Homo-oligomer: A and B are copies of this chain.
Amino acid sequence: MKADINDAMCPSRGVLEHVTSRWGVLVLVALRERSYRFSELRRHIGGVSEKMLAQTLQTLERDGFVHRDAKPVIPPRVDYSLTELGEEAAEQVEALGRWTEKRTQTVLANRDRYDEARS
């Protein structure tokens, strides 16, 4: 069976939604630098709630993109890092993120032009 993102029934749709989700993108990009502890990651990614970050990490762990390492220490310490598969996903997603940062000003100017032409 060949996966096809244009097929509404294909499970690749769900995978794509995980790697392109608002917080999924930012988690993958962050973990590309290095492993993070939960609280560090939450500080690094502006605006993410504890609940959304936990949910995102669990989804990415279940898909096999993120490795969760719970150290048996007191106080408990949990490190998150990328698996090999996660590294591949993160590479794609980071390229998109960097491109977006580079082109944001252009997009904002395009929006102004669009709105002016219609006002």
Contacts and interface: CB of A to CB of B under 8 A. Distances in A.
A105 B3 contact: yes
Contacts of A7: 46
A113 B16 CA distance: 20
How many copies altogether? 2
A96 interface: yes
Contacts of A5: 25-26, 29, 97, 100-101
A103 B46 contact: no
Contacts of A11: 104, 107-108
B61 A96 contact: no
Interface of A: 2-12, 15-17, 19-22, 25-26, 29-30, 44-47, 61-64, 85, 88-89, 92-93, 95-97, 99-111, 113-115
